[in-house]
Amino acid sequence: MLWKLFPLIVSALAAVAGDVHARTPYESTYSPRHSEDVLLRGATVLTGTGERLESADVRLAVGRIAEVGVSLADNGARVVDASGLWLTPGIIDVHSHLGAYPSPSVPSTSDGNEMTSPNSARVWVEHSVWPQDPQFPLALAGGVTTLQILPGSANLFGGRGVTLKNVPSRTVQGMKFPGAKPSLKMACGENPKRVYGAKNQTPATRMGNIAGFREAWGKARHALDERTQAAQTPPEDDKPKKAPAPDLGLDTLIGVLEGEILIHNHCYRADEMAWMIDVGKEYGFQISAFHHAVESYKIADLLAEEGICSAMWADWWGFKLESFDGISENVALVDKAGACAIVHSDSAMGIQRLNQEAAKAMAAAQRQGLSFDEAHAITWITLNAAKALGLDKRIGSIEVGKAADVVLWNGNPFSVYSRVEQVYIDGYRYFDLNDPGRRPVTDFELRQTVNGGGQ
């Protein structure tokens, strides 16, 4: 009970003690639904590991991928004839604002940007997410099984992001991906300097951006050193140890420095990404992924060397100056350099069709003579995305032992004409094109919208 009442103190103490779990209050209450075992028989399988299996069988049992092969025995599983269909891992979007910027988009639902301070590391976007956002089931109908919700990019430090399972739930806790690390959203470039410059506050320039980052990280590093030092000092007999003063923002930054929170950094321009890499080195943190990284292709070698993923649009460009050099070959060039390439949406429309976004990125590469096929391109929206979320041991590919998050398509998912037939999360069939009873409907939609938005 105490941790519920005093999460800050407990989490601060936990930092000293190095207890990972106590640092993350508001734990997930998700548990997989009871599901029958299923044998998906005869599909063309894109495994998410770069392989394509023809007429393969995949057996899902107790929420996991139990077997992948040919002519598998059903072992009591319900058999689904998937011949002529395609099977992929569940689609993962590393950049979404669903629930925080829901539909309908009106002032009272606009909860994605705490634009009151350039450092709002203290906020957690999960506290903004509206689980009844009708955009969740639309994304599900597009095959999205896992998504990271991030705060907006008005601030240098936007706050914590959260990884959700795309399951219908009355609470956000019921969607939180158990054991997924939280993230910290940072933003370079035009947005923070525009928002605060317009208020005659810092940052008003790109140098102001970097100074804002360095000051905050310097304080976090200093506080962590103090805490570590205090933990190492033996207690005096008559005085109990004093916990550090509660500071939500600092907790998040310290969580990053201790490797418990992953950095997801909105950063368009190559030169700014290079600066952020250096800021990370100065204060001792690793960036998981640059998001909206439209210029990653200019420093793909550096990103490969540093082990940083790039989360990219297939073809967005030119809507603001820092996106002016966006090119359709970006994803392919990053991948070709050996860096981790991800196609993300940042859009409630795009998230429904990440397969088509990947198809565009693949076609742009082929058009330039670079050879990328479907088996490889699917990794941009599955396994590579899982890597950036620190979940690649659990989801992102069709491999024995991984969670049974899979999507059955009625054709090649890289075809514009193909549609999702079935979506399984932890083995449970959450969506079925041919079964209206298996299409979640949010409260908001009742008697208001066309169920499923026509999906």
353 binds another protein (CB under 8 A): yes
- Shortest Cβ distance from residue 169 to another protein (Å)? 20
* 8 A C-beta contact, residue 348 and residue 135: yes
401 binds another protein (CB under 8 A): no
**Binding test (CB under 8 A) with another protein, winner from 414, 424, 428, 431:** 414
Selected range binding another protein among 14-22, 221-229, 400-408, 416-424, rule: CB under 8 A = 416-424
446 binds another protein (CB under 8 A): no
Q: What is the DSSP string of 111-170?
A: -S--TT-SB-TT-BGGGT--TT-THHHHHHHTTEEEEEE---SSSSEEEEEEEEE----S
* 8 A C-beta contact, residue 430 and residue 423: yes
**Closest to another protein by CB, 35 or 209:** 209
Which residues partner with 250 through β-bridges? none
366 binds another protein (CB under 8 A): yes
Q: Which three-class secondary structure state does DSSP give residue 49?
A: coil
**Tokens encoding 6:** 């005093």
> Shortest CA distance to 185 belongs to which of 149, 209, 211, 146?
149
What string marks each residue from 98 to 117 as x (binds another protein by CB under 8 A) or -? -----xxxx-----------
- Shortest Cβ distance from residue 383 to another protein (Å)? 21
85 binds another protein (CB under 8 A): no
Pairing mode, strands 64-69 and 38-46:
unpaired
Q: Rounded to an integer, what distance in angstroms lies between the CA atom of residue 89 and that of residue 408?
A: 9
- Shortest Cβ distance from residue 424 to another protein (Å)? 22
- Shortest Cβ distance from residue 289 to another protein (Å)? 20
Site for another protein in 293-312 (CB under 8 A): 297-301
198 binds another protein (CB under 8 A): no
**Tokens encoding 411:** 């054709």
Q: Which three-class secondary structure state does DSSP give residue 89?
A: strand
Q: Rounded to an integer, what distance in angstroms lies between the CA atom of residue 421 and that of residue 435?
A: 9
- CA atoms within 13 A of residue 142's CA, in its CB half-sphere: 28
Q: Rounded to an integer, what distance in angstroms lies between the CA atom of residue 52 and that of residue 86?
A: 10
- Shortest Cβ distance from residue 314 to another protein (Å)? 9
**Tokens encoding 451:** 């169920």
* 8 A C-beta contact, residue 173 and residue 199: no
- Shortest Cβ distance from residue 363 to another protein (Å)? 5
**Closest to another protein by CB, 108 or 229:** 108
Selected range binding another protein among 8-16, 48-56, 177-185, 360-368, rule: CB under 8 A = 360-368
Selected range binding another protein among 25-33, 120-128, 232-240, 444-452, rule: CB under 8 A = 444-452
**Binding test (CB under 8 A) with another protein, winner from 319, 401, 434, 437:** 319
292 binds another protein (CB under 8 A): no
**Closest to another protein by CB, 88 or 252:** 88
**Tokens encoding 378:** 């699917």
- Shortest Cβ distance from residue 292 to another protein (Å)? 13
* 8 A C-beta contact, residue 187 and residue 154: yes
Distance of CA 2 to the CA centre of its chain: 31
11 binds another protein (CB under 8 A): no
> Shortest CA distance to 145 belongs to which of 422, 356, 449, 435?
422
- Shortest Cβ distance from residue 50 to another protein (Å)? 18
**Binding test (CB under 8 A) with another protein, winner from 62, 349, 400, 446:** 349
**Binding test (CB under 8 A) with another protein, winner from 67, 418, 432, 438:** 418
* 8 A C-beta contact, residue 157 and residue 119: yes
By CB under 8 A, name the binding residues for another protein: 103-106, 134-135, 138, 190, 297-301, 315-321, 324-329, 333, 337, 348-349, 352-353, 356, 359-360, 362-363, 366-368, 414-419, 445, 448-450, 453-455
